[in-house]
Amino acid sequence: MNKIVKYKLNGKDVEAPEGRLVIEAAKDQGIEIPHYCYHPALGNPGNCRMCIVEVAGAPKPQVSCRTGVREGLEVKTDSDAVKRAQASALELHLVNHPLDCPVCDQSGECGLQDYYMKIGQYSSSVREDKEHKGKRIEAGPHVMLDQERCVLCTRCTRFVDNVTKTHELGIFGMGHNERVEVTPGMTLDNAYSGNVVDICPVGALTDRDFRYKVRVWYLDKTDSICPGCSRGCNISVHANTQRPWHNDGKRVARLKPRVNMDINGHWICDDGRYGFSSLDSDRLGKVLRLSPERAELSWFDAAHEVAAKLKDSSIAVVASGMLSNEDWAAYKALFVDALKVQGHYFTAEPDQLGEEDALLRRKEKVPNLKGAEALGLKSGSFDELKKNLEAGKVKTLYVIERDLTKIWGDKAAGLLAKADMTILQGPNKYALGDSFTYRLPATAYVEEEGHFTNFEGKVQAYKKALAPIGHARPDWDIFALLKKAVIQPAAKVAA
Amino acid sequence: MTKILTKHFDSEPKFHELEAYRRLGGYSALKKALGQDRKALQDEVTKSNLRGLGGAGFPTGVKWGTVPPEDKVPGPRYVVVNADESEPGCYKDRILLTRAPHQLIEGLLIAAYVIGAKDTFIFIRGEYQNQYDILEKALAEAKAAGLLGDVTIHLMRGAGAYISGLDTALLETMEGKKAWPRQPPPFPTVAGLMAKPTVVNNVETLSMLPFIINEGAEAFAKIGSPKSGGTVLFSISGSVDKPGLYEFPMGTKLRDVLAACGGPKAGRKLKGVIPGGTSMPPLMEKDLDIELDFDSVRAAGTFLGAGGMIVLDDSMDAVEIAHNIERFLTHESCGQCTPCREGSNWSERILERMLVGHGEQADIDNLARVGDNITGKVICALGDTVGMVLKGYIGRYPEDFKKRVKSS
C-alpha cells in the first residue's frame, strides 16, 4: 500500500493512497465520475474523454483515469467547466449513435442512457444524418455486435487482447469509419466471450442468449455463487418473475459476474454463464413412488416409507459436489451417523469433469467437493460401486443429483436395475429418472440458501433467488426428514 | 541573408552526393563531435536555442536532457528521425531529403553519439519514394565510407497515415500497431520505442546539428531570435508569385517573408497567412510586423508549426478553406478519442451543408461551441487542431460565415 496523502476533492480535504487514480479515489469518497473506456481490470486508455476533471495548476482539463493522487492535489469534479466538458463529450458520443433505445437490449443498463439522464444536454444540436455501420453481426455463439451503437471505448478489444489473449475482436478502419470487428477468419468463441457483453458500456455487444427476452428493469437480482466448477465465482442471478410470460416462461433470465478480487476478479466463464438451462427444464416437483405402483406421496409418507426400507439394507449413496456445506452436514447425520452407510461415492466422474485453464475454469465441474472433505467424508471409487452393483452387494442405491448415464453410459440402466430399491433425489430428472423406485424433488441452488467451499477452502454464501418448484425441498431438509423418520418411525408418531 | 541548411542548394547541384557534401565541409562536425564529452555537446545544443522544427518547437537540448542516464536506466536507447512529413502545405523535409540526405545523416549520427544510441531509425513518409531511394543511396555511401561507425541506421517507411507524423503515433506504427497516439506521461525520452528511452527529432532539426557543432552554439543562437536559434524553412505556397522553399533566420518579419516570395499575387488583397501548415489558423494583416518565431506566432494566436506557409487572398472563402481542412482532419483523425473522431466528421458535414446553401446562424454558433469542446480535451495535437481551425476561421472571418447563412 502506498503512503496516504492529503488532497482536495471539490474543496473538501480528503485522503487517498498516493498514486491512486483520481477516478477511483473519488469513488472511494462516494463521487462517481462518468466514464466508458476506463475499467479497473482493463486499464485506462483515456479515449472516451468522459472522466474529465479540473486539476488546479494544469493548463487544460485532465482525464481522471490517468491522473494519480498526490500530496496537495486539488481536483474538481463538479465545476461548471467540468460539467460542460462532460456534457460535450457525451454529446459527441451521441452524434452518430442511432438512439434506438426502445429496441435496444441494453436499455436500462446503458452508460449512454444513464449519463444522459445525469449530465446530458437534453436538446440536440445535431441536424446531420447518422453515419451507418454494421448491425446484427454475429460475433460468436454468444455475442451479437452492433457497430452503430459502439462508442469505441476498446474495452472488448482489450479484454480479448489482454485477458483471454485470443484477439478475436479488433478496431478496424480509421477515424469516423472506425469500428469494432471480428478479426477476419476468427469467431468470438473463447471460453470467456460473454464477458465482453458485461464490460460493453453501451448496446454494441449484447448477449444472444438473453436478447429480447426480458427488459432488464423487470429482473430481480440475487447474489449467488456459480455452481459450475470448484472456483466458486461470484455471480448475480437475474430472475424474471414479475413478467412470467416473458423469457419463454423461464424464471432465470441470465447470470452475471459479481466482482470478487479474491476469487474471480471481474469475470466468469461462458460455461458458468450459460449453463443454467437445467434450472427451468427437466425439473422434479412431485414426491413420487414409481414402483411397484406409481403414487404421488406426501413428504411425511414418503420419508417414512423410504426410511423403513433404508434401515437394515446394504446401501450405497451416489452423491455430488453440488451439495452445499449445510447439505453435507445433514447428509453425514443421516447416512453416516444414523444409517452407518459404508458406500459413499461422490468424486467427480466424466459427468462432472471438464476443461481447465489458467484463468478461472477448474477441472471438476461441481462447486463443493471441499465441503464433503471438510466433514471427513471419503468417497469410494465408482469402479468399486460398479463391481458391488454387479455382484448384487448393493440392495439400495441412493442417487443424489447425478446422471448415471453420464458416468456409466449404456450400462447405467442395467446397473441401476441390480439394486432392489433405488432413490433419485435432486432437482432434475435426468436420463434414468423414470427407472427409480422413488423420486424425491430437491431445490436447485437458486431456490435455497447455503454455502459452498471452493477448491482453495474459501467458504462463500449464496442466497435464495426463487421459490422452489412444486414440492421440492432443500437437500438438507430431505436428509433431516429421513433421519427423523429413521430414528422415530411413523407408527410411534401416530400412537 | 544567412542560410544554414540550404546554403549550397543553388551552387552545388550534387549536394546530395557524398563527394560534394564532404568537399563542402560535410562530416567535419561529426568528426569534431566524436570523442567530445557528450554532456558538453548536449549543453551546446541547449545553448544554441535549437527548437524542434517538426512543429512543436520544444528546445532540442532540453528534450535530450530528459533521457535518463545509462547508469539509471541501462539498456538500449534510440534516436528516431521523424521524416513522415504530411502536414498539408509542408514540403521542407522532402527537399532536405532530396537535396541534403548526408546533412541529415551527419546530424543523426551526432545525436546518436550524444544520446548513446546504437540503433537509429529514419521513419520516412511512404509516399516519398524518390526521397527513400536517395536516402538509401546516401546511406550506402556513408556506410561504405565508414562514417557510421558502430551505429546502425534503419530505414522505415510509413503506410500513409497523417497521424503517424505525431511522435508517439509514429512509435506505435514502428512497433507494428495502429497509429494511435500515446498519452504522456511517460514521454518517449523515458519510454519510447519498445518502451526504451527514445529521442524523436524532425529532419530539419537534426540537419541543423552539423552547423551548431562546427560554428558553435553562440553563432547559431545569434542568427535567430532571442529564444529560437538559427534559421527556419518555410514551404511557401498559395497566393504568391514565387512559391517554393525559403530559409529565413528565426525572427524574420512576416512582411519581409511576403516580400521575398511575392505575396499576395498582384491585384489581390492579403486575407491572411497560414504560418505552419493547414492545421494552424492564419496570421492576419495586423500581424505583418511580427517577427516569426515559435513564441511570437503563438502570441498572435496561432502556431509556427512546420513552416508550411500558405498565403491567402481576398479571392478565397474562409468557409471553403475551413471545410477543406476539416475534411482532411476528418479523413486523418485516428479515431482513438471521441471528441476528435466524432467532432471532426460532424463539423465537416455542417460546413458542407453551409457550402451548399443550407447554413443557419445556429450552425456558426454550434461550430464554435463544438470547436471549443474539442480543443484541449483530446489526446493529441491533431484533435486540438480540429477545434482550433473551426474557432480560428470563424473568429477571423465572421463575414464569410455570415454570407453562408440562408436568408429567410
Report the residue of chain A nearest B351, measured CA to CA: A128
Contacts of B332 in chain A (CB under 8 A): 174-175
Output the nine-digit C-alpha cell for A174.
480509421
Quick check: B373 and A91 CB within 8 A? yes
Report the residue of chain B nearest A125, measured CA to CA: B366
Q: Is the pLDDT of residue A492 over 60?
A: no
Do A319 and A463 lie in a common domain? Answer: yes
Mutate to test the interface with A, among B342, B350, B354, B378 (most CBs of A within 10 A): B342
Cβ of residue B178 closer than 8 Å to a chain A Cβ: yes
Q: Which of B332, B346, B376 sits opposite A95 (nearest CB)?
A: B346
CA atoms within a 13 Å half-sphere pointing along the CA-CB vector of B43 = 5
Contacts of B363 in chain A (CB under 8 A): 127
CB atoms within 10 A of CB B66: 12
Q: Which of A85, A96, A128 sits opposite B377 (nearest CB)?
A: A85
Amino acid type, B139: L
End position of a domain, from candidates A273, A298, A314: A273
Cβ of residue B378 closer than 8 Å to a chain A Cβ: yes
The contacts of residue B153 (CB under 8 Å, 6+ apart) are B105, B108, B120, B121, B122, B139
Q: CA A442, A273, A114 angle in degrees (round to 5)?
A: 120
The contacts of residue B114 (CB under 8 Å, 6+ apart) are B33, B38, B41, B42, B45, B64
End position of a domain, from candidates A273, A302, A333: A273
Contacts of B390 in chain A (CB under 8 A): none
Quick check: A176 and B335 CB within 8 A? yes
The contacts of residue B37 (CB under 8 Å, 6+ apart) are none
Quick check: B161 and A46 CB within 8 A? no
Contacts of A52 in chain B (CB under 8 A): 377
Quick check: A152 and B338 CB within 8 A? yes
Quick check: B341 and A178 CB within 8 A? yes
Positive or negative, the Cα torsion across A407, A411, A413, A418? negative
Report CA A398 to chain centroid distance, whole Å: 29
CA atoms within a 13 Å half-sphere pointing along the CA-CB vector of A205 = 28
Report the residue of chain A nearest B365, measured CA to CA: A125
Nearest to residue A265, comparing CAs of A234, A302, A298? A234
DSSP-assigned states of every residue in B104-140:
HHHHHHHHHHHHT-SEEEEEE-TT-HHHHHHHHHHHH
Q: Report the distance separating Cα A242 and Cα B335, nearest Å.
A: 43
Nearest to residue A428, comparing CAs of A275, A250, A283? A283
Contacts of B370 in chain A (CB under 8 A): 88, 92, 125
CB atoms within 10 A of CB A61: 20
Output the nine-digit C-alpha cell for A65.
483515469
- Is A153 a domain residue? yes
Mutate to test the interface with A, among B168, B187, B331, B338 (most CBs of A within 10 A): B338
Nearest to residue A280, comparing CAs of A259, A252, A246? A252
Asked, as a colleague might, if the bond just before A292 is cis with ω within 30 of 0, I would say: yes
pTM across the whole model? 0.94
- Is A279 a domain residue? no
Tell me the shortest Cα–Cα distance from A36 to chain B, in angstroms.
11
Do A139 and A238 lie in a common domain? Answer: yes
CA atoms within a 13 Å half-sphere pointing along the CA-CB vector of B198 = 24
Quick check: A60 and B373 CB within 8 A? no
Contacts of A173 in chain B (CB under 8 A): 335
- Is A110 a domain residue? no
Nearest to residue A66, comparing CAs of A17, A9, A25? A25
- Is A292 a domain residue? yes
Residue B195: per-residue pLDDT: 96
Range of the domain at A465: 288-487
Do A252 and A310 lie in a common domain? Answer: no
Do A312 and A224 lie in a common domain? Answer: no
Report how many domains make up chain A: 3
Cβ of residue B338 closer than 8 Å to a chain A Cβ: yes
Confidence of residue A490 (pLDDT cuts 50, 70, 90): low
Quick check: B349 and A128 CB within 8 A? yes
- What ipTM is given for this predicted complex? 0.92
Do A247 and A171 lie in a common domain? Answer: yes
Q: Give the DSSP H or E segment for B201.
A: strand B198-202
Contacts of B342 in chain A (CB under 8 A): 92-93, 95-96, 176
Contacts of A150 in chain B (CB under 8 A): none
Pairing verdict, β A396-400 and A438-441: unpaired
Three-class DSSP labels, chain A:
CCCEEEEEECCEEEEEECCCEHHHHHHHCCCCCCCCCCECCCECCCCCCCCEEEECCCCCCEEHHHCECCCCCEEECCCHHHHHHHHHHHHHHHCCCCCCHHHCCCCCCCHHHHHHHHHCCCCCCCCCCCCCCCCCEECCCCEEECCCCCCCCCHHHHHHHHHCCCCCEEEECCHHHCEEEECCCCCCCCCCCCHHHHHCCCCCEEECCCCCCCCHHHCEEEEEECCCCCCCCEEEEEECCCCCCCHHHCCEEEEEECCECCCCECCCCHHHHHCCHHHCCCECCCCEECCCCCEECCHHHHHHHHHHHHCCCCEEEECCCCCCHHHHHHHHHHHHHHCCCCEEECCCCHHHECCCCCCCCCCECCCCHHHHHHCCCCCCCHHHHHHHHHCCCCCEEEEECCCCHHHHCCHHHHHHHCCCEEEEEECECCCCHHHCCEEEEECCHHHCCEEEECCCCCEEEECCCCCCCCCCECHHHHHHHHHHHHHCCHHHHHC
Contacts of A124 in chain B (CB under 8 A): none
DSSP-assigned states of every residue in B282-311:
PB-GGGTTSEESHHHHHHTTS--TT-EEEE
Q: Report the distance separating Cα B9 and Cα B3, nearest Å.
A: 10
Contacts of A131 in chain B (CB under 8 A): 345
CB atoms within 10 A of CB A488: 12
C-alpha distances out from residue A250 to A25, A366, A431, A448, Å: 41, 23, 21, 18
Quick check: B338 and A93 CB within 8 A? yes
Output the nine-digit C-alpha cell for B82.
521523424
Do A374 and A418 lie in a common domain? Answer: yes
Q: Report the distance separating Cα B16 and Cα B54, nearest Å.
A: 22
Contacts of B339 in chain A (CB under 8 A): 49, 88-89, 92
The contacts of residue A292 (CB under 8 Å, 6+ apart) are none
Do A351 and A469 lie in a common domain? Answer: yes
Quick check: A85 and B335 CB within 8 A? no
Report the residue of chain A nearest B343, measured CA to CA: A92
Percent of residues, chain A, with pLDDT higher than 90 = 96
Residue A16: per-residue pLDDT: 97
- Is A335 a domain residue? yes
Do A396 and A250 lie in a common domain? Answer: no
Q: Report the distance separating Cα B213 and Cα B70, nearest Å.
A: 23
- Is A103 a domain residue? no
Positive or negative, the Cα torsion across B101, B106, B109, B114? negative
CATH at A257? 3.30.70.20
Amino acid type, B120: T
Q: Is the pLDDT of residue A63 over 60?
A: yes
Q: How many CB pairs under 8 A join A and B?
A: 96
Cβ of residue A65 closer than 8 Å to a chain B Cβ: no
Cβ of residue A178 closer than 8 Å to a chain B Cβ: yes
- Is A437 a domain residue? yes
Asked, as a colleague might, if the bond just before B264 is cis with ω within 30 of 0, I would say: yes
Report the residue of chain B nearest A154, measured CA to CA: B336
Output the nine-digit C-alpha cell for B174.
514502428
Q: Which of A66, A89, A175 sits opposite B377 (nearest CB)?
A: A89
Residue B151: per-residue pLDDT: 98
Q: Which of A60, A66, A89 sits opposite B183 (nearest CB)?
A: A66
Do A312 and A453 lie in a common domain? Answer: yes
Residue A294: per-residue pLDDT: 96
The contacts of residue A357 (CB under 8 Å, 6+ apart) are A191
Contacts of B344 in chain A (CB under 8 A): 175-176
Write out pLDDT tens, residues A247-306: 999 999 999 999 999 999 999 999 999 999 999 999 999 999 999 999 999 999 999 999
Quick check: B338 and A92 CB within 8 A? yes
Contacts of A88 in chain B (CB under 8 A): 339, 369-370, 373, 377
Output the nine-digit C-alpha cell for B23.
568537399
Output the nine-digit C-alpha cell for B60.
532540442
Q: Report the distance separating Cα B328 and Cα B162, nearest Å.
A: 10
The contacts of residue B314 (CB under 8 Å, 6+ apart) are B268, B269, B270, B271
- Is A233 a domain residue? yes
Q: Report the distance separating Cα B121 and Cα B174, nearest Å.
A: 9
Do A303 and A379 lie in a common domain? Answer: yes
CATH at A450? 3.40.50.740
Report CA A152 to chain centroid distance, whole Å: 27
Tell me the shortest Cα–Cα distance from A88 to chain B, in angstroms.
6
Average pLDDT, chain A: 96
Q: Which of A89, A173, A175 sits opposite B339 (nearest CB)?
A: A89
Task: Report the b/e string of A8-39 with b at 16+ CB within 10 A.
Answer: ebbeeebebeeebbbbbbbeeeebebbbbbbb
Report the residue of chain A nearest B348, measured CA to CA: A128
Do A269 and A302 lie in a common domain? Answer: no
What are the pLDDT tens digits along chain B (408 aa)? 689 999 999 999 999 999 999 999 999 999 999 999 999 999 999 999 999 999 999 999 999 999 999 999 999 999 999 999 999 999 999 999 999 999 999 999 999 999 999 999 999 999 999 999 999 999 999 999 999 999 999 999 999 999 999 999 999 999 999 999 999 899 999 999 999 999 999 999 999 999 999 999 999 999 999 999 999 999 999 999 999 999 999 999 999 999 999 989 999 999 999 999 999 999 999 999 999 999 999 999 999 999 999 999 999 999 999 999 999 999 999 999 999 999 999 999 999 999 999 999 999 999 999 999 999 999 999 999 999 999 999 999 999 999 999 876
Q: Report the distance separating Cα A333 and Cα B226, nearest Å.
A: 92
Residues of A (35-54) whose Cβ lies below 8 Å from B: 45-49, 52
Quick check: B376 and A61 CB within 8 A? yes
Amino acid type, A142: H
Indicate the DSSP class of residue B245.
E
**Largest alpha-carbon pair distance within chain A?**
90
Q: Which of B336, B363, B374 sits opposite A47 (nearest CB)?
A: B336
Residues of B (313-332) whose Cβ lies below 8 Å from A: 330-332
C-alpha distances out from residue A437 to A306, A419, A440, A474, Å: 10, 10, 10, 20
Cβ of residue B170 closer than 8 Å to a chain A Cβ: no
Do A61 and A137 lie in a common domain? Answer: no
Cβ of residue B334 closer than 8 Å to a chain A Cβ: yes
Cβ of residue A171 closer than 8 Å to a chain B Cβ: yes
The torsion of the CA quartet B229, B235, B240, B242, rounded to 10 degrees, works out to 90
Please return the burial class of A212, using the count of CB atoms within 10 Å of its CB with bins 0-12, 13-18 and 19+: exposed
User: Are B292 and B253 in contact, with CB atoms under 8 Å apart?
Assistant: yes
Contacts of A89 in chain B (CB under 8 A): 338-339, 373, 377
End position of a domain, from candidates A94, A110, A140: A94
Confidence of residue A495 (pLDDT cuts 50, 70, 90): very low
User: Are A419 and A432 in contact, with CB atoms under 8 Å apart?
Assistant: no
